[in-house]
Chains A and B, each alone.
Chain A
Amino acid sequence: MRERSPRRPSLARPMAVLLLLLPLPALAFDLNDLQAQLGQTKAIEGQFEQQRYLADLDTSLDSRGHFTYRRGERVVWVLEAPVKDRLVFTPDSASVIDESANASNDRRRDQVAALFLRLLGGDWQALAERFEIAIDGDVDDWRVTLTPKSAALRERITGIELQGGRYLEFLTLHAANDDVLEVRLFDQHPLSDSNAD
């Protein structure tokens, strides 16, 4: 862009405004953009495939099913194979994980559930409290990397990666004990308010 000339303001200013309004590929795609993009969809439903690698046993646990997600409210995670089950995560509790234990009192488990919800929702402000967050890529193919800030959290999680385009498509969580959780979300489509549950 050319330097503004005091002698010819009438032309320079509208040009500058115009330039700012254009979506420039040269401008980085940042976390705010991504949050805005993800936030456009209030509710989603889709399929998932999950693979949990257990380093200790050098083996993997695979599962699949479908899910519905309502932004800021809850995720319903319906396992279809190898076992059938229905899990509900809300910001307050992961109450259905385990009815027999006093679930509402287990702060640790609530935190994992809350983390899962924030990852799905791209709630970077909240995540930034505990993680260094880096983003690269563009609007159609982005990748976000989260690294724990505190030593205490690093003892449990070494890093988290998110990838996607219009929606979040891959979530990879590296645990400190070398276990890896990989979740692939596919066949996703927005859900209207009426049939969202």
Chain B
Amino acid sequence: MPTESHERHSRALAWSWGLVLLLSALATTWLLRDGLPTDTRLTAMLPEDRQAPLIERADARLSTSFENRFVVLLTAPDLRGATRALAERLSSAGGASPLLSRLIWRDVDLAEADPREALGAYRYRLLTPALQQTIDAYGGASLVAPALRSLFSPAGQPQLVADPFGLLGRWLAARDASPVEAHDGLLTVTDDGQRYALLIGELADGPYSLPAQQALTTAIEDFQQAHPDAGLLRSGLIFHAAAGAEQAKREISTIGLGALIGLVIILLVVFRSPRVLAQMLLPLGCGLLLALPLTLALFGQLHVLTLAFGASLIGIAIDYALHLQCERAVAGSRFRLRPLLPGLALALVSSLLAYLAQALTPLPGLRQMATFAALGLLGAWLTVVLWLPRLVAPAHPATARIAERLWRISMPRRRLSPSVALLGAGLLAALAAWQLTANDSLRLLNPSSPAMLAEERQVQRLMGSDTGSRYLLVSAADEPALLSRLAEIGDTLDRWIAEGVELRYTNLADSVPPPAVQQANLARVERLYSEPLSELVARAGLPDSVIERARSRIEDVPILDVATWLGSAIGEADRRLWLGKIDAAQADMPGNMAAVMPLSGVESAALERRLTAFAERHANVVYVNRVERLSSLLGELREHIALWLGMALAGMAIVLAWRYRGLAWRVLVPPTGAVLIVLAIFGVIGVPLNVFSQLGMLLVLGIGLDAGIFSVEHARRPSTWLAISLSTLTSLLAFGLLAFSATPALHHLGLTCLLGLAAVWLLVPWVRPTHVGS
């Protein structure tokens, strides 16, 4: 019996814990007054590339321009009618809060702002390469005939004084490399004789808005029902986001609900009391309540992945409640908390150590997740120790019966000897080391189906657009120098292309020629305006005054700069290419100005190497492959987790050796054995390792350690074995079922847990000590 002072002491502790939780609740409400500040960007989870903040900026610049748009390509027997019908559905989608801020689908939609107005003054400094060559070689005499034709064609729009040779029209036509053409009042692209109508939507609310996804999906489904013979090709983040959300919703209602129902049934069958069930969940709630405000206060905002994985990791805390409850149910009135405390404390310390090790890594996402999970685990543990013993819980006799029966049927008569265990571990490790591969491909994070990705690629190909996933980052001292540098690189790439290299690039210097080139172009136009202009005017039968008036226009021509170009309607699309001023102090490249040059069509490894080598030869050029880069960051994340996990395990081994001496290996076998078994199985069946399977290992290790500790602490107790079995079974339900998820990340986490937890449960009986126990 506890003494009275002891009782007073523990009551005071329980009250203070209540006070802490109350403060947490208040802090949470205050912090969440404007909603939960969550971060959904995937890259926010990855380490900030401190060596390359400029690359981060370039990445962000290139990706945001894609996020709020989507493209639909349509084929139909009655293309015009079908396109109009789809456009009407899309425009009216969303009802009172429209889905789209703009829909482009008619040929006139693209001609709304006339670029001639904004760029008219600069036209004499802007010449296409073809025009430059024509004037350099022949003085431009061959340009007279087309100019005459435009004067007399009924479809011509001649500007005799401002631009008799139509220089601006040619230059703008050359700027517009897009394969989109006007046809029958529509915007179309053609592929292999097949004509597609083009619709470009600009989203009012961004791709992650659920109502927007809903409205878009409905509009397109309705359209497809009304036009079964129409074919659709979709591209845009919102389609992938919608499919992902749809898949998550489906899985929550199947996998998630299934796991929850299974969990409740098992706990009810064993404990036969809804009140016990509530007591099991109370620590989890309290843990979350402690973790949420503290993590928010530490990090400012929560990443969605932290919330998802962190909350799952806190789920391990159900172990503590299970052990307490199993013991209480079997021991009945003889139940005391004190004998359980060392095991519970060690279980907590082992998990905290594993998580806090992650919190020391340089990866912001991992740090946040580990902090969140460690705090939650601590909160749950305190609730179990301080509150649960004080709460009345009915102990049903069935619990003890179940524990006895489980003990009888599942305990093997033989045990594993240390040498066999060591041999087994060595074999498994060798198998894993020999066969196991790793795959850090970014595709793991992409829940889109292969069909959707193929559709996306087809649209990108038809539209001739780049995804911004490969680019050259170029810097220089000032704007003219940067433009010259870009132009030189463009010339180099042109030479490669002339050699037969498959490559396309988008160069800002093609749109805004370096000042020196603009100067040379003006000199060419002066040459064109001498003989050829006189000839044109004479052959058209116009008065000579036209010549003087046209020539007066080229006397004081401003130089086109980047800001003017990007501010014009036609140059708007190039804003993603311009990084502008860079902070020289923190920049990873020399210079004060930077721009990007997106590349597409880079298919071969040889070209990849050539680009890398090219960039390495120049101090102010960097070649970036975003997919590769993000993949390598993911790989780094995976290696960090493995390293810190190994170190945590080594630390744990020391602590365990100090408490359990010769029995320490029995504690370590379930967690490490399970991890080795999973690694070996992955190696044999050819599943590559990735960051998500490793997060699963973290769970397996935590639960395995708890199982090992309790099994050694209370070796011969059926109640402990029941608690261990329930703990692995509930975790199997919660995480193992994710193996059936179609989302690659969740699938890998789930598969690891499924195999690992099963291995933990199978290993524990084989290594339980023969005697000892409190």
Contacts and interface: CB of A to CB of B under 8 A. Distances in A.
Contact of A61 (B113, B166, B540): B540
Interface stretch (A16-24, A25-33, A105-113): A105-113
7 closest A-B pairs (Cβ-Cβ)?
A106-B173, A63-B152, A112-B155, A152-B112, A98-B146, A101-B170, A110-B182
A156 interface: yes
Interface in A133-179: 150, 152-153, 155-156, 171, 175
Interface string B151-191: 11111111011000010011011101111111111000000
A181 B540 CA distance: 16
A172 B539 CA distance: 25
B305 interface: no
Nearest to B183: A92
Given A107-B176, A155-B114, A57 B169 contact: no
10 contacts: A85-B149, A87-B155, A100-B134, A100-B142, A100-B143, A105-B178, A110-B182, A130-B108, A155-B114, A156-B157
A56 B169 CA distance: 19
Contacts of B134: 100
Contacts of A111: 107-108, 111, 182
A68 interface: no
Interface string A95-138: 00111111111111111111110000000001001100000000
B540 A116 contact: no
Interface residues of B, number: 50
A79 interface: yes
A4 B506 CA distance: 74
Contacts of B154: 50, 77, 116, 171, 181, 183
Contacts of A153: 108
A187 to B, nearest CB: 17
A194 interface: no
Nearest to B114: A155
B541 A82 contact: yes
Given A82-B152, A97-B146, A106-B172, 9 more contacts: A87-B149, A91-B183, A97-B150, A105-B176, A108-B111, A112-B157, A116-B155, A150-B112, A175-B157
Contact of B151 (A52, A77, A155): A52
B161 A57 contact: yes
Contacts of B542: 57, 59, 61
B130 interface: yes
B161 to A, nearest CB: 5
A69 interface: no
B152 A83 contact: yes
B110 interface: yes
A150 B182 contact: no
B176 A77 contact: no
A61 B383 CA distance: 94
A54 B146 CA distance: 18
Contacts of B638: none
Contacts of B161: 56-57
Contacts of A105: 173, 176-179, 181
Given A101-B169, A107-B181, A110-B182, A57 B152 contact: no
B181 A110 contact: yes
